[in-house]
């Protein structure tokens, strides 16, 4: 009867001075692995605009049809995303959109804190995607 108790106490005391494996979230954040596929962001071009050229490949490849794209055309004939939205509510973070993008415009970053009270906040538009690039998440 006393042996299991002593074993338990030995285990407890052996752990008292060891380094804790927990962190004080949210003050401290655990670094995510390099290949982590988190919240999307848009890479900017030299003009500070989205690098997206509205080719539509990410829309075609997305298995959950999360991406909405309306194509605009500049006076010089270049295409741009008039409307670009990702419904993160439905996204499975497969990364296919990032892999398919020929200009490396859409990326999945390191961010993982996407809890919102309103469902509409889970729809990321161009402005949000660009601001996430600034935050480097
Ligand atoms: S990560 Fe996958 S599911 Fe999410 S928007 Fe990209 S292609 Fe679609
Ligand atoms: S994000 Fe990339 S793949 Fe998607 S429409 Fe823009 S350029 Fe094409």
pLDDT tens, residue by residue, 63-118? 999 999 999 999 999 999 999 999 999 999 999 999 999 999 999 998 888 889 99
User: What pLDDT was estimated at residue 135?
Assistant: 65
The CATH number linked to 68 is 3.30.70.3270
User: What pLDDT was estimated at residue 64?
Assistant: 96
Q: Is residue 120 part of a domain?
A: yes
Task: Indicate the SS3 state at residue 70.
Answer: strand
CA–CA separation, 13 and 24 (whole Å): 23
Q: Is residue 26 part of a domain?
A: no
Domain of 95?
Answer: 31-134
Q: Which residue has the higher pLDDT, 110 or 62?
A: 62
What is residue 43's DSSP assignment? Answer: P
Answer left, alpha or beta for residue 62, where phi above 0 means left and psi between -120 and 50 means alpha: beta
User: What pLDDT was estimated at residue 31?
Assistant: 85
Q: Is residue 16 part of a domain?
A: no
What is residue 44's DSSP assignment? Answer: B
DSSP one-letter string for 96-137: HHHHH-TTS-EEE-S------SSGGGGEEEHHHHHHHHHTT-
Work out whether strand 79-87 and strand 40-42 pair parallel, antiparallel, or are unpaired: unpaired
Residues with CB under 6 Å of ligand 1 are 61-64, 66-67, 86, 91-97
Residue nearest to atom 3 of ligand 1 (CA): 91
Residue 1: pLDDT band by 50, 70, 90 thresholds? confident
How big is the CA angle at 49 (ends 80 and 132), to the nearest 5 degrees? 110
37, 38, 62, 90, best to mutate for ligand 1 pocket (most atoms within 8 Å of CB): 62
Instruction: Extract the tokens encoding 68.
Output: 């909405």
Q: Is residue 8 part of a domain?
A: no
Looking at the predicted structure, is the pLDDT value of residue 51 above 90?
Answer: yes
In this structure, the number of other CB atoms found within 10 A of the CB of residue 81 comes to: 24
Average pLDDT over residues 30-48: 91
Kindly report the average pLDDT of the chain as a whole number.
Answer: 92
């Amino acid at each position: 009867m006393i042996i299991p108790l002593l074993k338990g106490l030995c285990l407890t005391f052996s752990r008292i001075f060891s380094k804790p494996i927990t962190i004080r979230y949210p003050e401290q954040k655990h670094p995510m692995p390099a290949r982590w596929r988190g919240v999307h962001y848009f890479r900017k071009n030299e003009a500070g605009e989205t690098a997206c050229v509205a080719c539509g490949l990410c829309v075609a490849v997305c298995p959950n049809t999360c991406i909405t794209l309306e194509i605009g055309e500049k006076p010089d004939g270049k295409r741009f995303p008039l409307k670009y939205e990702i419904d993160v509510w439905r996204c499975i973070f497969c990364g296919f959109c990032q892999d398919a993008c020929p200009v490396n415009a859409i990326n999945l970053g390191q961010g993982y804190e996407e809890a919102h009270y309103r469902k509409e906040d889970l729809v990321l538009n161009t402005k949000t995607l660009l601001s996430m690039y600034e935050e480097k998440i």
